[in-house]
Amino acid sequence: MQMMNEQTGIPFILNGRPVRSLSAPGTRLLEVLRDEFHLTGTKCGCKEGECGACSVLINGRLVTSCLIAVGSIAQQAVLTIEGYRETERFAVLDAAFADMAAVQCGFCTPGMVLATEALLSEHPHPSAEEIRQGLSGNLCRCTGYQALIQAVRTAAQRGAGLW
Amino acid sequence: MVNSYAPENLSEALRLLQAGKVTPYAGGTDIMVHPRAAASYLFLRQLPELGQISATEQFYVIGSTVTYQDLLTQTKVDLPDVLLQACRKVAAPPIRNLGTLGGNICNASPAGDTLPVLYALDASVRLARFEPASVNVKDTDGSISYRLLPLRQFIQGVRRTCRQPDELLTEILIPKVRYTLTEYEKIAARKAQAISKVSFCGAAAAEAGQLTRLALAFGSVGVTVVRDSQIETAILNGDYDIAAAVKAYDQLLRPITDQRSTAGYRRTVCLNLVRNFLTAVLAQTRSGAQVTDQ
Ligand SMILES: Cc1cc2nc3c(=O)[nH]c(=O)nc-3n(C[C@H](O)[C@H](O)[C@H](O)COP(=O)(O)OP(=O)(O)OC[C@H]3O[C@@H](n4cnc5c(N)ncnc54)[C@H](O)[C@@H]3O)c2cc1C
Ligand code: FES
Ligand code: FES
């Protein structure tokens, strides 16, 4: 049985590196990422699972890190925007989001980019409906969603073969 | 300092639960909206016993920690389509990757989106607890005992179930029944990320021009899902035509006004949904058509 607390720590893989969080197991992963590991690319918009700004990938799946107790992810692999930006796929998304003017204030962007990664991994050539579904857990208050949908479509075209 | 636990198997988990003061944690999507700093969690997702989907001759058996996304992507078991329709309408992908069927049930919200489906399909839940060995029996260290009860008995009110503090929900059992028409509807402010104003599940079977089975379940319009076997029987026996059935539900349903919707809107929508569904059912029955919906 694995017992955990602030002393035992909680081991997991963060952006490819093994780490150990010394936060209480019930702490939101969002807070662990931002306050303990100083990875502030993951944003906090609501702490209720509504906005998607805190999205990360765990074992490749899109999840809202505000709704995850860090103790529940022991031994699992977390990918944040800081880790993802080292990838070739990120470069394609970065350019597509910029070219389609899908970024304004940028607060939703890390979550949108990771939601796009999750979507393209499942559907490399998504339909308009699949794009809307894939981004439906992420709110943007600036750009309007059309630009975002266009960015995803553009990325899917330019990145053919990458996903 | 409080401890949380990630047990390796069900027996270990149940022993920890019996020892006291741990909160079962599945996907966390209900728990973490209002987290308690000093909470001691019993993490369940890594337990192999609770994460399976299978089928017996009589039942579909879904482990309590199976997520919505698991249900939607697995290909092993041919699950009832109407259940998958409800899963597709829960929240949005990040929440569907975390939230579990067992969590939806144990949370016992009147707006739980899978509940009308599970009520309509006569689902049961299996609960497990640890039975310590009697002092006389030295060679065993206890065993797991189970009880099975209908979901509609398990859920007792708003966020109230009859789960004992030392019990875990292990599986959801759905009888394998062939329906000729099923329908799920969720009415909410937006398509994604919205809690239901009303949800509805209808399931019916017709054979040789005869209606043989009928289930009508309504979510978000009462303290628990509303299903009335007397009205269903009266419709089945031909004692009620559609108008009489709608009138009976009009008298039965007691929706309330809250931040999401008004009592009047909810009532109107429910009655429209039931009228539409019964109209489709009776048309199908009359034509003797055997459209398979599952
Ligand atoms: C943004 C957002 C949107 C949402 N949208 C919807 C929606 O559209 N429709 C909907 O129905 N719900 C929705 N929900 C609610 C929630 O996602 C679901 O109820 C989900 O199924 C809960 O499952 P979970 O595994 O996350 O539960 P948890 O939070 O882990 O647990 C919920 C409760 O059940 C108990 N519990 C869990 N598993 C067990 C078990 N095996 N044995 C005993 N007790 C157990 C826990 O102790 C807790 O009290 C939403 C939530 C959020 C945050
Ligand atoms: S901060 Fe997590 S979804 Fe908004
Ligand atoms: S760019 Fe500002 S919220 Fe999306």
| A75 and A61 in a common domain | yes
Q: Which helix (H) or strand (E) holds B71?
A: helix B68-73
In the beta sheet, which residues pair with residue B205? B213
Q: Could you tell me if residue A102 is inside a domain?
A: yes
Q: Could you tell me if residue A1 is inside a domain?
A: no
Label residue A19 by pLDDT band (50, 70, 90). Answer: very high
| A70 and A33 in a common domain | yes
Backbone φ and ψ for B47, nearest 5 degrees, come out as: -75, 120
- Write down the pLDDT at residue B138: 58
- Write down the pLDDT at residue B132: 87
In a 3-state reduction of DSSP, which class is residue B214?
Answer: strand
Q: Which structural domain range is residue A134 located in?
A: 87-157
Mean pLDDT over the full length of chain A? 97
Label residue B135 by pLDDT band (50, 70, 90). Answer: low
Would you say the CB of residue A84 lies under 6 angstroms from ligand 3? no
Position B159 pLDDT exceeds 50: yes
Percent of chain B exceeding pLDDT 70 equals 96
**Closest residue on chain B to A130 (Cα):** B93
What's the mean pLDDT in B163-180?
97
Count of domains observed in chain A: 2
Position B134 pLDDT exceeds 80: no
The last residue of one of the domains, among A30, A64, A83, is A83
| A145 and A97 in a common domain | yes
Interface test with B, best of A30, A67, A145 (most B CBs within 10 A): A67
Chain B within 8 Å of A131 (Cβ-Cβ)? no
| A70 and A107 in a common domain | no
| A93 and A45 in a common domain | no
Q: Could you tell me if residue A5 is inside a domain?
A: no
Mean pLDDT over the full length of chain B? 94
Whole-number Cα distances in Å, A5 to A28, B80, B175: 14, 41, 42
| A95 and A35 in a common domain | no
How many Å lie between the centroid of ligand 3 and the Cα of residue A42?
Answer: 14
Contact between A69 and B29 using a beta-carbon 8 Å cutoff: no
Q: Which helix (H) or strand (E) holds A146?
A: helix A145-158
Determine the Cα–Cα distance for residues B152 and B187; give it in Å rounded to an integer: 22
CATH number at A151 reads 1.10.150.120
What's the mean pLDDT in B181-199?
93
What's the mean pLDDT in A39-53?
98
| A76 and A111 in a common domain | no
Smallest Cβ–Cβ distance between A137 and the set B32, B35, B93 belongs to B93
In a 3-state reduction of DSSP, which class is residue B51?
Answer: coil
Position B293 pLDDT exceeds 60: no
**pLDDT per residue as tens digits for the range A88-139:** 999 999 999 999 999 999 999 999 999 999 999 999 999 999 999 999 999 9
**pLDDT per residue as tens digits for the range B38-73:** 899 999 999 999 999 999 999 999 999 999 999 999
From the CA of A142, give the closest atom in ligand 3.
Answer: 2
Q: Could you tell me if residue A163 is inside a domain?
A: no
The last residue of one of the domains, among A68, A83, A98, is A83
For B136, the token pair is 């006389």
How many Å lie between the centroid of ligand 3 and the Cα of residue B193?
Answer: 18
Contact between A63 and B98 using a beta-carbon 8 Å cutoff: yes
Quote the minimal CA–CA distance from B192 to chain A in Å.
6
The last residue of one of the domains, among A83, A109, A133, is A83
Smallest Cβ–Cβ distance between B3 and the set A5, A133, A134 belongs to A5
| A136 and A96 in a common domain | yes
| A93 and A49 in a common domain | no
| A109 and A73 in a common domain | no
How many Å lie between the centroid of ligand 1 and the Cα of residue B97?
Answer: 12
Whole-number Cα distances in Å, A49 to A25, A55, B32, B163, B199: 19, 9, 9, 27, 21
- Write down the pLDDT at residue A1: 64
Q: Could you tell me if residue A73 is inside a domain?
A: yes
**pLDDT per residue as tens digits for the range A65-85:** 999 999 999 999 999 999 999
- Write down the pLDDT at residue B77: 98
- Write down the pLDDT at residue B294: 47
Interface test with A, best of B1, B2, B3 (most A CBs within 10 A): B3
Q: Note the maximum CA span of chain A.
A: 51
Smallest Cβ–Cβ distance between B94 and the set A4, A25, A137 belongs to A137
In the beta sheet, which residues pair with residue A64? A55
| A63 and A115 in a common domain | no
- The answer to whether the CB of A52 falls within 8 A of the CB of A139 is yes
Residue with tokens 């093994």, as numbered in its chain? A18
CATH number at A66 reads 3.10.20.30
What's the mean pLDDT in B77-105?
98
DSSP annotation string for A65-132: GGG-BGGGGTTPEEE-HHHHTTSHHHHHHHHHHHHTT--SS-SSHHHHHHHHHHHHHH-SS--HHHHH
> What is the residue type of A8?
T
Q: Relative to the alpha carbon of B98, which ligand is closest? A: 1
Q: Could you tell me if residue A162 is inside a domain?
A: no
Structural domains in chain B, CATH included, are: 48-107+123-175 (3.30.465.10), 181-287 (3.30.390.50)
Contacts of A50 in chain B (CB under 8 A): 193
Chains A, B: CB contacts within 8 A come to 112
Label residues B139-173 b or e (16+ Cβ within 10 Å = b).
Answer: eeeeebeeeeeebbebbeeeeebebeebbbbbbbb
In a 3-state reduction of DSSP, which class is residue A33?
Answer: helix
Q: Pocket around ligand 1: residues whose beta carbon is below 6 Å from it?
A: A 48-50, 67; B 23-31, 33, 44, 64, 90-91, 95, 98-100, 102-104, 106-107, 112-113, 163, 168-169, 193, 195
Q: Could you tell me if residue A122 is inside a domain?
A: yes
| A114 and A128 in a common domain | yes
Label residue B121 by pLDDT band (50, 70, 90). Answer: very high
Would you say the CB of residue A53 lies under 6 angstroms from ligand 2? yes
For A85, the token pair is 């930006």
- Write down the pLDDT at residue B102: 98
Position B184 pLDDT exceeds 60: yes
